[in-house]
């Protein structure tokens, strides 16, 4: 999950009594560079789809999970997942729970899932469901149904929407901008940064005021790297995503996004 060495991972788990999230933080505080964990590692294998309504006013992304890539790449299973997505769009569903109750040819999707489970011998299910409603919603599926993105915009800009969705797929931002980063994420990140600074021998004996100023600078660097509008635009590294959108339309705004992935 983290890319850290086995013995380092073992020590982290011992130090944190087996708490996975705390173990990742422990590794980071010790200066380890670990893989980003942003909630997209739940589904081991499966098919991810993302689609919008005909008028692009709303969109749905979902994951139909399975246990092996052999099944996920099977044409029949992909068609099964697409059938579920078509039902989700046709019935304008709001949640996975509602989707499971939708009937296709007189059979509930939950029952279709159970029948498929029995026929292929693997645990399957609708394990991820995201929806966005906005003035304009763009969707994007990447890597043979291994990742899906929805982007909500305030204006109907199809090409810009696709570009932003591809950016999100590639760079996995945590929020639209610094102001929309969850408070607990900011607090956690700053605590890790402060511990990293204190663990630096060069900072031994330095006053707390200096440590906090350095931490604020590093936190700003985190926002630049991890928030969508501040990231370098993947199609032109010389501008940020926010700058690019202004060239498309000065009033264009990203309202929200959702990204789901296998991993």
Mean pLDDT across 7-29: 89
Identify the CA nearest to 151 among candidates 143, 37, 41, 140.
140
Instruction: Tell whether 57 and 161 lie within a shared domain.
Output: yes
**Which of the four pLDDT bands, split at 50, 70 and 90, describes residue 217?**
very high
What tens digit of pLDDT does each residue of 167-176 get? 999 999 999 9
State the Cα–Cα distance between residues 129 and 51, nearest whole angstrom: 12
* Sign of the four-CA dihedral 162, 164, 167, 169: negative
**Contact criterion met (CB below 8 Å) for 28 and 34:** yes
- Evaluate whether residue 88 is within a structural domain: yes
222-259 as b/e: b if 16+ CB within 10 A = bbeebbbbbbbbeeeeeebbbebbeeeeeebebeebbb
**Contact criterion met (CB below 8 Å) for 257 and 151:** yes
- Evaluate whether residue 135 is within a structural domain: yes
What tens digit of pLDDT does each residue of 71-123 get? 999 999 999 999 999 999 999 999 999 999 999 999 999 999 988 888 888 88
Query: Is pLDDT of 60 > 70?
Result: yes
Query: Is pLDDT of 36 > 60?
Result: no
Instruction: Tell whether 109 and 149 lie within a shared domain.
Output: yes
Residue 2: per-residue pLDDT: 74
Instruction: Tell whether 66 and 116 lie within a shared domain.
Output: yes
Q: Which residues, in sequence order, are bridge partners of residue 46?
A: 65
Instruction: Tell whether 4 and 84 lie within a shared domain.
Output: no
Instruction: Tell whether 32 and 56 lie within a shared domain.
Output: no
Terminal CA-CA length for the chain: 9
Instruction: Tell whether 32 and 104 lie within a shared domain.
Output: no
**Which of the four pLDDT bands, split at 50, 70 and 90, describes residue 35?**
low
CATH number at residue 93: 3.30.479.20
Instruction: Tell whether 73 and 102 lie within a shared domain.
Output: yes
What's the domain range around 107?
45-171+252-261
Mean pLDDT across 57-68: 95
Look at the chain and report how many structural domains it folds into.
Answer: 2
- Evaluate whether residue 99 is within a structural domain: yes
Instruction: Tell whether 18 and 89 lie within a shared domain.
Output: no
Instruction: Tell whether 79 and 131 lie within a shared domain.
Output: yes
């Amino acid at each position: 999950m983290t890319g850290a060495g086995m013995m380092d991972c073992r020590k982290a788990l011992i130090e944190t009594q087996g708490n996975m999230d705390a173990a990742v933080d422990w590794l980071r505080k010790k200066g380890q560079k670990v893989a980003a964990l942003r909630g997209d590692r739940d589904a081991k294998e499966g098919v991810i789809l993302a689609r919008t309504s005909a008028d692009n006013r709303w969109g749905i992304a979902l994951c139909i999970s399975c246990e092996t890539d052999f099944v996920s790449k099977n044409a029949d299973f992909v068609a099964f997942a697409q059938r579920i997505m078509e039902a989700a769009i046709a019935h304008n569903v709001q949640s996975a729970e509602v989707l499971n109750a939708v009937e296709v040819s007189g059979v509930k999707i939950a029952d279709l899932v159970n029948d498929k489970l029995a026929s292929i011998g693997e645990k399957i299910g609708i394990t991820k469901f995201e929806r966005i409603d906005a003035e304009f919603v763009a969707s994007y599926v990447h890597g043979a149904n291994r990742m899906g993105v929805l982007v909500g915009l305030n204006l109907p800009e199809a090409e810009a929407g696709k570009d932003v969705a591809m950016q999100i797929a590639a760079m996995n931002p945590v929020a639209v901008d610094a102001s929309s980063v969850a408070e607990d994420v900011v607090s956690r990140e700053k605590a890790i940064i402060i511990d990293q600074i204190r663990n630096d021998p060069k900072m031994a004996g330095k006053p707390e005021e200096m440590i906090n100023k350095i931490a604020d600078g590093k936190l700003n660097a985190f926002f630049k790297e991890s928030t969508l509008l501040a990231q370098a635009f993947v199609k032109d590294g010389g501008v940020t995503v926010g700058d690019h959108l202004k060239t498309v339309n000065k009033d264009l705004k990203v309202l929200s996004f959702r990204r789901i992935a296998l991993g």
